[in-house]
Chain A
Amino acid sequence: MSHQTQDLDQEIMQTLLTHLARFPTKSDELNAQTDLAADMNIDSVNMMELLMEVEDTFDVSFPLNMMANVNTVQDLANQIKQLVENRP
């Protein structure tokens, strides 16, 4: 893995953790393996707000239907990374 890719991974994860910090979690620690639905109980409106913030931060379009493949924070980070790397 290149340094550039590692930097992007870290930037995406850090951004997500910062945005997610405002929501309460059932477990003590918010991390990459935190389940967005089961551990955080983020409702649909807050999830949409989060995605709009992510879109603005990384200048990408994140279709809501992509959330069907997302369970954990890491899943979300992977989807964003894919969008960033394929950005036109």
Chain B
Amino acid sequence: MSISDRFAELAHIRDSLGAVEADPSRIVMEKILSPTEAIIGNRPTILVGTNNYLGLTFDNEVLDAACAAMHEQGSGTTGSRMANGSFAGHASLEHDFAEFYGVPSAMIFSTGYQTNLGLLMGILRPGDKVVLDSHSHACIYDGCRISGADFLAFRHNDPEDLRKRLRRLGGDAEGALVIAEGLYSMLGDIAPLADLCAVAKEYGAWFMVDEAHSFGVYGERGLGLCEEAGILDQVDFITGTFSKSLASLGGFCVSRHPEMQLLRYGSRPYIFTASSSPANIAAADAALRAIRTRPDIKDKLWANANRLYDGLKGLGYELASTVSPVIAVRVPSKEEGARLWNALLDEGVYVNLVLPPAAPDSAALLRCSLSAAHSFEQIDAILAAFKAASAGSDMAAGASAQ
């Protein structure tokens, strides 16, 4: 394929999104008013598609820490840690993550995407075996692909299917890497991590969990679904991102294996990219402190999630999973999904429109991600917008009755 052919292919994707008025790239937030509100198209819009789970992007402690770090240390690091050296903030944040998880190893990366890429490219070699949940994020697939390892998928959230595929690997199952996520970002469903971990360990495989959407949200201390599943002492690698609950930009990996730190010498996405800026590091550090000391934030998030979930159920919508901070409304076609997405925008509510292949079963999803910063009044306004947007459609059978 020539570059011209590739441009034509991409133009076709753009045009097909434009044909159903579903191009997310047309959304420009002209002014950010708060963690939950922005001006879009000259009008105030409630944001319920930002992954800003704890709503800390405008938290005074986070903002003050980021501003102070920028004034004290500058706007950027201008290079990689291997070349330019680490700032004290990089090292202390890694120490804080290791301490929070009670593990000997923690590394931070410049984005969440690069975290999974960095771990997988660092630990895998051609010929290694990986068995990953079929709904895994693109960065997990990309990390496996670039590493040259042999990787195959098991059916989503199905421990018995994982067992079957590990069995097929025969002797290669021992030492293979099994990968799952905590909270899956599209459907909002959670992994049966205890069962998956047990199967992986039964075959002598390593077990990695990406807690990008579950860190700060699940577990008594906010460590994520591994904490909730009681497997923190068994899981081998946990990755996460700063760009959701931690209100910043970057990512982390923690491990019970002290050797994980050796990736500093052989992980290309760690070595060959600029390190996180002082403001990013300080913001993540302050947000981490908030997770550790202010559990009421998480409680408010769950109260909001329950309110929206119950409300959408009451309106008759088909929801993709049980209640979680990600609530995905199933829509039968991409055309209807685009129509509703645009109607919600007209009503002053921004959600994520998810189309196949990111959405399963050739359907579409209207994906809502809740924030602790949403007020109950905003949740009720979101519900009213859904009711208005679906008026006259078959989407919410109960809507017309209420």
Chain A residues in contact with chain B, CB under 8 A? 43-46, 48-49, 51-52, 55-56, 59-66, 88
Look across to chain B and name the residue whose beta carbon is closest to the beta carbon of A66: B150
Contact partners of B170 in chain A: CB under 8 A:
88
Give chain B's interface secondary structure class: mixed
Q: Which residues of B contact A56 (CB under 8 A)?
A: 164
Known A60-B168, A61-B165: A44·B357 in contact at CB below 8 Å: yes
B interface residues, tally (CB under 8 Å):
20
- Least CB separation from A42: chain B residue: B357
Is there a chain A Cβ closer than 8 Å to B152's Cβ? yes
Q: Does B145 count as interface, using CB distance less than 8 angstroms?
A: yes
Please tell me if B31 contacts chain A, counting CB pairs below 8 Å: no
Q: Is B357 within 8 A of A63, CB to CB?
A: no
The answer to whether B356 and A45 have CB atoms under 8 Å apart is yes
- Interface residues, chain B, CB within 8 Å of chain A? 134, 141, 144-145, 148-155, 164-165, 168-170, 356-357, 360
Question: Is B357's CB under 8 angstroms from A45's CB?
Answer: yes
Do the beta carbons of A48 and B134 come within 8 Å of each other? yes
Residues of A within 8 A of B360 (CB): 45
Given contacts A52-B134, A55-B168, A88-B170, contact A62 B357 (CB under 8 A): no
22 contacts between A and B (CB under 8 A): A45-B134, A45-B356, A45-B357, A46-B357, A52-B153, A52-B155, A55-B165, A55-B168, A61-B150, A61-B152, A61-B168, A61-B169, A62-B152, A64-B141, A64-B144, A64-B145, A64-B151, A64-B153, A65-B144, A65-B150, A65-B151, A88-B170
Contacts A45-B356, A51-B152, A64-B144 aside, 20 further interface pairs with beta carbons under 8 A come to A44-B357, A45-B360, A46-B357, A48-B153, A52-B153, A52-B155, A55-B165, A61-B150, A61-B152, A61-B165, A61-B168, A62-B152, A63-B150, A63-B151, A64-B141, A64-B152, A65-B144, A65-B145, A65-B148, A66-B150
Nearest chain B CB to A51 CB, angstrom units: 8
A62 to B152: give the CA distance in the assembly, Å: 7
Least CB distance, B109 to chain A, in whole angstroms: 23
Residues in B whose Cβ lies below 8 Å from that of A62: 152
Min Cβ gap A70→B in Å is: 14
Q: A56 to B164, alpha carbons, bound, how many Å?
A: 9
Alpha-carbon distance between A59 and B168 when the two chains are bound, in angstroms: 7
Q: Which 6 A-B pairs have CB atoms at the shortest separation, nearest pair first?
A: A63-B150, A45-B357, A43-B357, A61-B168, A88-B170, A63-B152
- B152 to chain A: which residues have CB within 8 Å? 51, 55, 61-64
